[in-house]
Structure 1
Amino acid sequence: MSEQQPSDASSTDQAPTWTIADVERDTGIGKDTLRVWERRYGFPRPGRDAHGDRCYDTAQVQRLRLIRRLLDLGHRPGRVVGLPLTALQDLAARGPRVAPSTAPTPPHAQATVLAQWLGWLEADQGERVQQALRASLQQHGLAQTVQTLVAPMCVAVGEAWAQGRLGVYQEHLWTEVVQRTLREAIAALDAAPGTPKQAPRVLLTTTPGEPHLLGLLMAECFLALQGCERVVLGAQTPLIDIVTAARRLAVDVVGLSYSAYVGRRDLVDELVQLRTRLPDNVALWVGGAGAQRHGRALPPGVDVVAQAGDVARRVHAWRARHRAA
């Protein structure tokens, strides 16, 4: 996707400026939010064009792009909007900020939100769930939303289905809402100017018999936040094709997700085959309930990612090792 270009909002000979609509499209920050920040934090500081409408210079737009990225990494607007560019860049280099003290939904509030979302699913109101999910992404960022809402909601939906509260079609409705919304968020991150892709290059898939993709998608969110290159193959890729793709696409990591339904013997057998066939310099990361359940049985050279949020720590450790090498 090409970078959004500013409008020539002024009739003078000054450099082109950005309208508020331009800024909204480029950064994903809503017009109302921009106006609130202007009053509350003193930034952005728009000028006015010949018609009296707000206009922004390119430096402010670049700073807003970085602010949006920090919000996706879990920072609060009040802590970042007023910071100078150098401070914003330093924060962005540190990666996600996910700490209990800054979680947007403490346990009691989280339970209330999840109950409300489940109620909407029971009432076949998937569009309300999607609107709420998008609002959380806008307010709290991608990292916090995935860890404190999406991941526990996946568990809650599974439990509600097992209890007979939700039908299969309602579970599928939730899956579709999450996939569509998180892919939109990932695409926005990838399209943001000034965020070049970095190593490690990660191949994401599941093995035959494992159709569940939400865990892999949540992991991809954190890889995108870290600026990692990703090669997404979808579900149920044959083992030999995983190995072939890893070699031909020169990936650094193969990432797999296993749901709770996987058997111990099948899991171990697949991972032994993959670890044996993959190049030694290709890391093998596995996540999901199945991987955690059978973690002690896994062969050497296989790293368990306990939850999606741990992906960032794995990436930092991988980069540290390769810088030192």
Structure 2
Amino acid sequence: MSTMSTPAGWSQTAMFTASEVEAQTGVPATTLRQWERRYGFPHPERNASGYRLYSPQDVAAIQRMQAHLNAGVPASRAAALTCAELAPDAAPPPDERLGRTPAEWSAGLTQALLASDMDGAAALLGQIHAQLPVEDVLTAVLSPTLVEIGQRWERGEITVAHEHQASAFVRARLSHLMELAGVQEGFGPLAVAACAPGESHELGLMMLTLALRRRGVRVAYLGANVPLGDLAVFARLRRARAVLLALNGEWALAATRAHLHDLDGLGAPLFLGGALLNARPELAAELGGLYAGPDAPRAAQIIAAQLHRAPEEPQGDA
């Protein structure tokens, strides 16, 4: 049986309307026109009625531009990278030519971050987003990068300044992605996410927040070191359907146990996760909650499935 080959020049054939491109990429037609004026791409043709028609190559350029922007690359820099990557006479980018594995992407990102090459790290992350789904970026690239940097700091190979700069970079990118994935108020069940008292390591919880928002769950993200009494008051006022609590080390356990009674009568399931729970999953039951799961995508899948299945019953007033 013969197979049908792609016609020569197919990638340059104008075939998609602006609305079809918007449906494929999520980029509004107004933004496409702005990019066309400011950066010289995409390159739509006009049909007999004067409407823009975009080629598959245009769509590829738009997707690359969006991936760079999602990674936090400034728009002008993202446009320059996109044009360079898609130039017809340019060699394939080294990372694509080598077909990098997630581990190799992570190693490259680690190297850029420890060299304080933030522009290079941002550009590399843009390429990674163009190659991998968001949740693979979280679990197979960003998480191993953070673990490697933390281990190098523990071994005394880098300073705490290096570790803080790398963490700040990842935090900023996750914050940007969380905003992009934010679900509008009034749609989807609400979960409240916080780090336990004394817990300042919040990047894993940010990843979980992002993964949940991508599954249609609204998440009120409270951040690091949240007293359990305040967490309970907030969750009741917002009528949260679930509470997510992150503990990454023993340093957060004593204060959590001491104030666990503040969560009594919450009327919503308590999901616990983080490095400490991954090492000791039995702690979840000891603390009166449910183990969320070993990583952000799987935890999000478990939590979202329960929330979307549970009946929408309002809780009592605070």
Is the Cα–Cα contact under 8 Å of residues 258 and 288 in structure 1 kept in the other structure? yes
Q: TM-score, normalised by structure 1?
A: 0.63
CA displacement, residues 31-88 of structure 1 (integer Å, 9 cap, x when unaligned): 99978xxxxxxxxxx76267988347xxxx9xx99xx9xxx9xxxxxxxxxxxxxxxx
Query: For residues 18 and 303 of structure 1, what CA distance do their matches in structure 2 show?
Result: 43
| Counterpart in the other structure of 2:212 | 223
Deviation of residue 134 (structure 1)? 2.7
Is the partner of 1:254 in helix, strand or coil?
strand
Alignment of 1:172-321 (within 5 A): 172-190=164-182, 198-262=187-251, 264-270=253-259, 272-276=260-264, 278-280=265-267, 282-298=268-284, 299=286, 301-306=288-293, 307-310=295-298, 311-321=300-310
Alignment of 1:122-141 (within 5 A): 122-141=114-133
Query: For residues 294 and 275 of structure 1, what CA distance do their matches in structure 2 show?
Result: 21
Q: Which amino acid aligns with 1:25?
A: T
| Counterpart in the other structure of 1:48 | 46
Is the Cα–Cα contact under 8 Å of residues 18 and 55 in structure 1 kept in the other structure? no
Is the Cα–Cα contact under 8 Å of residues 222 and 309 in structure 1 kept in the other structure? yes
Query: For residues 210 and 266 of structure 1, what CA distance do their matches in structure 2 show?
Result: 10
Instruction: Report the count of equivalent residues.
Output: 248
CA displacement, residues 254-307 of structure 1 (integer Å, 9 cap, x when unaligned): 11111134365444444x32442x423x11111111122333133364011221
1:25 paired residue among 28, 31, 34:
31
2:107 paired residue among 101, 106, 115:
115
| Structure with bigger gyration radius | 2
Is the partner of 1:166 in helix, strand or coil?
coil
| Counterpart in the other structure of 1:94 | none
Deviation of residue 22 (structure 1)? 4.8
Gaps of 5+ in 1: 1-14, 36-45, 73-103
Gaps of 5+ in 2: 1-16, 71-95, 313-318
Is the Cα–Cα contact under 8 Å of residues 197 and 228 in structure 1 kept in the other structure? no
Identity of aligned residues (%): 20
CA displacement, residues 188-218 of structure 1 (integer Å, 9 cap, x when unaligned): 2338xxx786432011111321111101100
Alpha-carbon spacing, 1:162–1:181, altered in 2? closer, same or farther (3 Å) = same
| Counterpart in the other structure of 1:166 | 158
Q: TM-score, normalised by structure 2?
A: 0.65
Is the partner of 2:213 in helix, strand or coil?
helix
Query: For residues 159 and 202 of structure 1, what CA distance do their matches in structure 2 show?
Result: 32
Query: For residues 34 and 316 of structure 1, what CA distance do their matches in structure 2 show?
Result: 39
Alpha-carbon spacing, 1:197–1:264, altered in 2? closer, same or farther (3 Å) = same
Deviation of residue 225 (structure 1)? 0.5
Query: For residues 22 and 157 of structure 1, what CA distance do their matches in structure 2 show?
Result: 38
Is the partner of 2:244 in helix, strand or coil?
strand
Deviation of residue 114 (structure 1)? 2.2
